Amino acid sequence: MIDLILSKLSSYLCKRFSGMSLIANNTITDGPTSNGDFDVINVDHEDPKEADDLSPSVRLRSIEGRVSSRSTTVKESSRPSSGDGFTSRQQLPHDSTLPSTRYLNLRVSLSVAFLFRIALLLFSVWQDTTRWPDGQLRFTDVDYDVFTDAARALVSGEDIYNARPTYRYSPLIAALVAPGHWLFRNRLIRQSPSVNPKTFFDPPLNVLDTQRTPMHTSTHGLTSIEDALSRIWGKLVFIIADLICAWLQYNIIIIEAMPETVRESSEGIPFPSAKLSQLAVLLVSFAWLFNPVTAVVSVRGNAEAVLGVCVLACLALILRRRLFLAGLFFGLCIHLKLYPVIYAPAIYLWLSQWSCKPSGSIYSRLCCLIPSRAHFAFALGTLLSLGLFTTMGYLYFGGMVFLHQAYLYHFTRIDMKHNFAPHFYPFYLLSGLQWKMLDMKTVTGLLNYGTTRDLLFRQLSALMGMHEPTVQDNLTTWIITQCALNADVVERVFNIISTLQSLVLIPGLSFKLCGQLGLCWFAVTYAFVTFNKVCTSQYFLWSLVLLPIALAQVKVPSNRLVIPTVVEMLLMWLAPQALWLASAYTLEMRTPSSQLMARWVWILVWCSSLVFLLFNIILLRRLIKWRKLCANLTTADPLKESDSHEVADKKTP
């Protein structure tokens, strides 16, 4: 009899609770309610027919068990009732990595963005083959040629830094591009990488080229498809890294909107509300996936998206307080590129919870800067990762050659070629004066040694002994000599001033914005790129990879319309770039024959860089100003505006 009762009870419990996630009238729904949050649907009562078959004692125990389980479920589901828009992952019937919303779906956005980049990749093949419209313009960046040369040398067992002296990156980048040559050129591994560059890169991806060297003939069994796949492999890797960046951006936006207690739990990322998920997908799609700058830079063959994956993974792990693992990624970031070290002050202040202690004495504020266990865990992971990768590069890739090419070179690099940074023109003029001094040295008998004072007196004595035919020529020689004499000093002073800008801005922005780590990283990166001595299109990805995360923490004032404000800021960022690109194209491809007009084109490029610098400062100032009007995203829904902020917006001009 007891066995019969137990069997019926077990079958009853199986019927009641095994399909909770599948039956609508007795489940906890995983869909959003009318207000966008997740809620719990009441569990129905027991079946009277089945209840009659049970004894009163068994029925009582069954009812008590259901009541206790119901109360436990209600307690668990009441956690997001404070308005944070999240529900526990354990309450959901299944675990989805990419949760969909009622309006937008991240998976659809990722798929469309992938097709968009594949279309750009096909266009790059055509453009590099035809070089429309003047037979000179390429789509693929020269950096991709450098990556491919290094990867081909790595596969053939050569030293990548000797095979391509202009390769000044980590060997890991070449290792990512190398599988394309290993898979599709495995019969050519024994060939020397020092081949005619025209074979591979003039034009690149030219699968229709009939003038092939013996290296590409059918005797090696290498088809044009294999040739093309080996060339575009690196670009496919960078495109996939682009999509991974978007997925990480979405998750970081969700993580930063979570309360700190939920964020640091080990249960995984909970499902967000429909509003928050919609906002995250919109920001990721608008600022990254369908941003033409990010798509074009990756398809052109720049590896910045790979570094972006490491930076975003580090940020996500820090927010989840997986500090040792975050330190490992941070060390990898610094190994790939040196610039992520600018995030160190913000990370240190965030781990010290500096923003949580706005008041107090100076002593108490300084005491919170004392390193804690969290700091040591993060530092240990960073040193372990950075030391491991750097030591391997030193041992296997040339020792000091590796250190110089990958790291030391960037400390002394001065780019005199035109770029978005306005620093290029002063460096260009100073270098011209130095070359003029070298030319005049043979005439005046000057020797380039000693201090600046010695050189000055030597130059004066030489000029006193020279006889110029006219006063004007003598004055011109005097001016050129004086300028050339001080060119080195002026260049050093200019370098110091340029460096001081970053040394002041990075700690200042870190102290001001460390409470919102994603926004802080974006502001620090944006300021660093803006005031850097060299700025190219690929540098934009350093800040653009953090742009969706920063925009999630910014609210446009109520006295401004959102769409016109977005259009205005886009024009402020894109218009100077268009002006600069047009003037740079004129300088490179349509250089005027007149010397006077050529000088005016140089000045036009420099003025475009100055305008771009000015607009970037305005955009950064707006970002910081509008951040102050935002709600505390760690405790509230980002789309909900508080009354206090509405009052503050009315007072804002």
Q: What is the 3-state secondary structure (H, E, C) of 156-184?
A: CCCCHHHHCCCCCCCHHHHHHHHHHHHHH
For position 538, what pLDDT does the model report?
A: 83
Please state, in angstroms and rounded to a whole number, the distance separating the CA atoms of residues 526 and 520.
10
Lowest mean pLDDT among 391-400, 441-450, 561-570: 441-450
- Tell whether the model's pLDDT for residue 291 goes beyond 50: yes
Of the two residues 638 and 417, the one the predictor is more confident about is 417
Tell me the one-letter amino acid at 506.
Answer: I
- pLDDT-derived band at 100, boundaries 50, 70, 90: very low
In this prediction, residue 437 has a pLDDT band, given cuts at 50, 70 and 90, of low
Q: What pLDDT sits at residue 168?
A: 92
Q: Are residues 115 and 220 in the same domain?
A: yes
CA distance 436 to 448: 13
The enclosing H or E element of 86 equals strand 86-87
Name the more confident of 384 and 595.
384
Over residues 301-320, the pLDDT tens digits come to 999 999 999 999 999 999 99
At 221, the pLDDT band (50, 70, 90 cuts) reads very low
- Looking at the fold, whether 50 and 117 belong to one and the same domain comes out as no
Helices first, then strands: H and E counts in the chain: 29, 2
- 52 & 112 share domain: no
Q: Count how many domains the chain has.
A: 3
618 is a domain residue: no
Which pLDDT value is given to residue 219?
Answer: 35
Of 152-161, 186-195, 312-321, 325-334, least confident by mean pLDDT is 186-195
Tell whether 225 and 117 lie within a shared domain. Answer: yes
Classify residue 254: in a domain, yes or no: no
How many residues comprise the chain? 653
Q: Is residue 345 part of a domain?
A: no
Task: Decide: residue 324, CB within 10 A, 0-12 exposed, 13-18 middle, 19+ buried.
Answer: middle
Check residue 482 and give its pLDDT: 59
User: Which pLDDT belongs to residue 188?
Assistant: 46
- Residue at 58 is within a domain: yes
- pLDDT at residue 380, rounded to an integer: 97
The reply to whether 121 and 176 lie within a common domain is yes
Amino acid at 445: G
Residue 213 and residue 159 share a domain? yes
Work out the average pLDDT over 373-386.
96
Per DSSP, what are the bridge partners of residue 271?
87
Does 196 or 133 have the greater pLDDT score?
133
How high is the pLDDT of residue 573? 93
Instruction: Give residue-wise pLDDT tens across range 475-511.
Output: 455 555 555 556 667 777 778 888 888 899 999 999 9
Other residues' Cβ atoms within 10 Å of the Cβ of residue 438 = 11
pLDDT band at residue 608 under the 50/70/90 scheme:
very high
Can you tell me the mean pLDDT for 251-279? Answer: 79
pLDDT at 413: 76
Answer with the one of 235, 261, 282 that is the final residue of a domain.
235
Are 28 and 123 members of one domain? no
Checking phi first, is residue 268 left (phi over 0); if not, alpha (psi -120 to 50) or beta?
A: left
Range 603-608 average pLDDT:
92
- Nearest to 616, CA basis, from 539, 559, 510, 552: 539
- The pLDDT value given to residue 481: 57
One domain for residues 73 and 141: no
Q: Are residues 14 and 122 in the same domain?
A: no
Proportion of the chain above pLDDT 70, given as a percent = 62
Closest CA to 145 of 190, 217, 211, 193: 193
Least confident of 132-136, 296-300, 641-645: 641-645
Interval 578-605 mean pLDDT: 86
The pLDDT of residue 236 is 94
Residue 445 lies in a domain: yes
582 is a domain residue: no
> Is residue 473 in some structural domain?
yes
Question: Which three-class secondary structure string do you get for 338-369?
Answer: CHHHHHHHHHHHHHCCHHHCCCCCHHHHHHCC
What's the pLDDT score for residue 375?
95
213 and 116 housed in the same domain: yes
pLDDT: which is higher, 636 or 349: 349
Per-residue pLDDT, averaged over 211-232, amounts to: 56
- Residues 133 and 207 both lie in one domain: yes
Q: Looking at the domain assignment, is residue 518 inside a domain?
A: no
SS3 per residue for 266-313: CCCCCEECHHHHHHHHHHHHHHHHCCHHHHHHHHHCCCHHHHHHHHHH
User: Could you give the CA distance from residue 333 to residue 174 in angstroms, rounded to a whole number?
Assistant: 16
**Any residues with CB less than 8 A from the CB of 613 and at least 6 apart, and which?**
421, 422, 530, 531
* CB neighbour class for 29 (10 Å; exposed up to 12, middle 13-18, buried from 19): middle
pLDDT value of position 360 = 64
For range 115-127, the mean pLDDT: 93
On average, the pLDDT of the chain sits at 74
| pLDDT tens figures, 15-71 | 544 443 333 333 333 334 433 333 333 334 444 444 444 444 444 445 444 444 444
Q: How far is it, in rounded angstroms, from Cα 405 to Cα 166?
A: 8
The confidence band for 578, taking pLDDT boundaries of 50, 70 and 90, is very high
Residue 640 DSSP code: P
Do 124 and 37 share a structural domain? no
Quick: pLDDT tens for 167-187.
999 999 999 999 988 887 654
Q: Which domain holds residue 457?
A: 426-485
What was the pLDDT predicted at 322?
Answer: 94
